[in-house]
Structures are given as C-alpha cells and as structure tokens.
Amino acid sequence: MTARFHPILFAAVLFCPYLCGQATEESIVSEIKTLRSLSAQQRPATTIKAAQEIATLPAGARKVQLADQLAHQVTEGDQGQDAPQAVADTLAKSLAESPAAPKKDEIPMPYLDLAELVRYAGVTATLNDPLFAKASVQLAANEADIAKADFTLKDLHNKKWTLSELHGKIVLVNFWATWCPPCRAEMPDLDTIFTHLQAQGVVVLSITDEDGFKVSSFISPSGYHPPVLLDPGGAVHKQFHVEGIPHTFVFDRDGKLAAIAIDQRTGRQFMAMLAQAGLQLQ
C-alpha cells in the first residue's frame, strides 16, 4: 500500500516545537536576551522557566553553553534564591551530562561560574567532577589573595587613595566601567550609600581601568559622588582577580575581607554586605 502525503500532518510535525509549546535553542536564546528588559518582579520567574527549558535539551556543549549564559544573568540584581538555584541545578546537570574539556591547565568557565554561584549566591550544587572541585579551590585561593591585597590609585581629581590607610572605616571597593549596563544600574545605590553613610565611616571606592578622559566625561553630568579611581593597565583588577564586572568587595574596619559580590547588587544587597562588615545603622 502506497503511503499518501498529508500536507496538514506534515506541517504539524514540522512545526510541532512551536505549536506544542516545546522550547528550542532559538527560543531559549531569545528568552535570555529579553531578561534585562524585564521588571525585577518578572525576571526571576522567566529565569526559572529558561533554566527548566534548557534542562530539557539534548546533552551536549550547546546545552552547557546556554546554561552558562543564564548563570551570567541570574546574578544580576536580587532574584531571590529559587532562580539562582534553578540555574545552578541546570548547569550542574548539563556539565554532568557533557563535561567541558579544559584547555591546558585552565578551568573551563562553566565550572568556575557554577562554583561562584555556590560560593557567592547561596545555592547548592552536586557535581562529581574534579574540575568543579578545582574551581572551588581556586575561588578560595583567590579570596586569600584579595584578603591581603593593597593598592594606591589616583582619583579623577589626582588625589591618591591607599586601601591600607583606610583602616578604621568600612570600605566598599567596586569595579566597574562606563560601557557596562549592570555597573550603571547599581551606581545610584552606591551613590546613596556613599552620601548617607559617610558619617558612619563608610567609604565607597569605584575603580575602572578605562581612560581618564572618557570616565570624566561620563561621570561629570551624572552627579556621581563616590571617588572614582583609575587603574590604567588593570593591575589592581588582576590583584583582585576581577575578570567580570561589576564586582564588589567589602572590608571591615580592621581591613578584613567581609563580603564579595560577583555582579550587580541592589541597595538592599549592598546594605547586607555592609552589615557583614559590622555596619550598624544609627
């Protein structure tokens, strides 16, 4: 019996991923691209949905890549705990199914991103992989370096600032750049903290490795008040192991490293970091 071609059935099979609501790589990519345009209330649910959709994809490098892209987005702002946990679960599952191959002695970025979610976003992850364990050890070693770090940099007015000379104050060190949207998004909160908490001994230092003229042109009309320090060549960025921005470190009044944020923070999250350094609002 000769099979007959049925155009309606053929169309249904061809477009089933769209008609049946099944996520595709293309639809997930589009979803991830829209995350920054969503409100703070909408974003966690959409992030969780994207994580669940990625989890249904076939195992492979592309699945790991999409999960890792989502990991970069979920740390922006305050998305609660459910969204970061969903992303960590999907990234760990993706890596378990398709381990990322290292280049020489470098740890692949997905392992480092998962380790950062565990260490700095308060999530849990189970992944029996020596590269994941190595990433966790590397983050701890980086923190040990940062805890001993010191620097002297000039601000836009040519004033020198030395970290070790600020003992007795709570110091928030923020790495940023003019081209970075999450950096710009958190600047109003940093400005408010600096303006209102100076009297309680809080210092905010904003460090960029960009050209001084470019930075001055950006800062002047913005009304941003914290000192902006120039790090030409990025030596202090390297000292603090900063590979992505924004990145924030808080030191207590004894100069001890008290808190780390690996991405954009909200005002509430910044205040929680300062509280870890011993700040008590008066």
For residues 122 and 216, what is the distance between their CA atoms, to the nearest angstrom? 36
Task: Reply yes or no on whether the pLDDT at 13 is more than 80.
Answer: no
22 band by pLDDT with thresholds 50, 70 and 90: confident
Residues 68 and 174 in one domain: no
For residues 246 and 76, what is the distance between their CA atoms, to the nearest angstrom? 9
For residues 186 and 197, what is the distance between their CA atoms, to the nearest angstrom? 17
CB count within 10 Å of CB 117 equals 23
Residues 219 and 118 in one domain: no
Q: What is the mean pLDDT of residues 218-232?
A: 95
User: Which pLDDT belongs to residue 186?
Assistant: 96
User: Which pLDDT belongs to residue 105?
Assistant: 85
Q: What is the mean pLDDT of residues 175-197?
A: 96
Task: Reply yes or no on whether the pLDDT at 94 is more than 90.
Answer: yes
Task: Reply yes or no on whether the pLDDT at 6 is more than 90.
Answer: no
Last residue in a domain, options 144, 167, 186: 144
4 inside domain? no
Residues 131 and 166 in one domain: no
Q: In the chain, pLDDT over 70 holds for what percent of residues? A: 92
Residues 168 and 137 in one domain: no
What is the residue type of 90? Answer: T
Q: What is the mean pLDDT of residues 210-230?
A: 95
Q: What is the mean pLDDT of residues 93-103?
A: 95
Q: In the chain, pLDDT over 90 holds for what percent of residues? A: 88
Task: Reply yes or no on whether the pLDDT at 15 is more than 50.
Answer: no
Residues 241 and 177 in one domain: yes
Q: Is 206 left (phi over 0), alpha (psi -120 to 50) or beta?
A: beta
Bridge partners for 205 per DSSP: 173
For residues 179 and 16, what is the distance between their CA atoms, to the nearest angstrom? 41
User: Which pLDDT belongs to residue 23?
Assistant: 85
C-beta of residue 153 within 8 angstroms of C-beta of residue 236: yes
Domain of residue 230, residue span? 152-276
247 inside domain? yes
Last residue in a domain, options 111, 128, 144: 144
For residues 119 and 19, what is the distance between their CA atoms, to the nearest angstrom? 40
Measure the N-to-C terminal CA separation of the chain; round to a whole number of Å. 87
For residues 123 and 106, what is the distance between their CA atoms, to the nearest angstrom? 24
Helix locations, 162-266, DSSP H: 181-197, 212-219, 235-239
User: Which pLDDT belongs to residue 21?
Assistant: 55
Residues 159 and 118 in one domain: no
Residues 171 and 131 in one domain: no
Task: Reply yes or no on whether the pLDDT at 111 is more than 70.
Answer: yes
199 inside domain? yes
**pTM score above 0.85:** yes
C-beta of residue 223 within 8 angstroms of C-beta of residue 231: no
Closest CA to 116 of 138, 100, 95, 99: 138
Half-sphere exposure of 46 (CA within 13 A, CB side): 18
Is the torsion defined by CA of 60, 32, 43, 122 positive or negative? positive
CATH of the domain at 208: 3.40.30.10
**Residue listed under structure tokens 């950096």:** 183
2 inside domain? no
User: Which pLDDT belongs to residue 16?
Assistant: 42
pLDDT in tens, 115-136: 999 999 999 999 999 999 999 9
Last residue in a domain, options 124, 144, 164: 144
Q: What is the mean pLDDT of residues 186-201?
A: 96
Total number of domains constituting the chain: 2
**Which 3 state secondary structure label does DSSP give 18?**
helix
User: What angle, rounded to 10 degrees, do the helices at 181-197 and 267-276 form?
Assistant: 60
Residues 202 and 168 in one domain: yes
38 inside domain? yes
281 inside domain? no
Residues 99 and 164 in one domain: no
95 inside domain? yes
What is the residue type of 150? Answer: D
Residues 90 and 163 in one domain: no
pLDDT in tens, 47-57: 999 999 999 99
Residues 32 and 70 in one domain: yes
Q: Classify strands 257-261 and 247-251 as parallel, antiparallel or unpaired.
A: antiparallel
Residues 180 and 228 in one domain: yes
3 inside domain? no
* Higher-confidence position of 13 and 92: 92
Please, what is the average pLDDT of the chain? 92
For residues 100 and 71, what is the distance between their CA atoms, to the nearest angstrom? 16
User: Which pLDDT belongs to residue 282?
Assistant: 67
